[in-house]
Amino acid sequence: MGLKIAIAILFIGVVISLFSGLTFLVQDQGDGKKRQWYALGIRVLLAGSMLGLIAYGIQSGQLEFGAPWDQHKLVPVEE
């Protein structure tokens, strides 16, 4: 459960970094793109960390690969 929370937090961080880069683009209007590059670097770092956590979760078995409605996950109810 902790792995899923960490992945969600990293995803929220990527979205925040995306919108901060948009804000820097609008405020600077093309002048001094240093803040945009900084936001891009943070976004790439967060996205790489998130992909690493997803790969670790699948490899360790903490995350399952597939949709919840797959046939192998459905257990017939016996009456």
pLDDT digits (tens, 9 = 90+) for 25-55: 888 776 667 888 888 999 999 999 999 999 9
In whole angstroms, give the CA distance from residue 23 to residue 3. 30
Confidence class for position 16, pLDDT limits 50, 70, 90: very high
Residue 66 lies in a domain: no
Residue 77 lies in a domain: no
Residue 76 lies in a domain: no
Return the closest-CA partner of residue 13 out of 34, 38, 56, 43. 43
Residue 23 lies in a domain: yes
Domains held by the chain: number: 1
Contact 46, 14 (CB under 8 A): yes
Residue 74 lies in a domain: no
Check residue 79 and give its pLDDT.
Answer: 59
Domain that holds residue 33: 2-60
Check residue 74 and give its pLDDT.
Answer: 60
Residue 75 lies in a domain: no
Residue 78 lies in a domain: no
Confidence class for position 12, pLDDT limits 50, 70, 90: very high
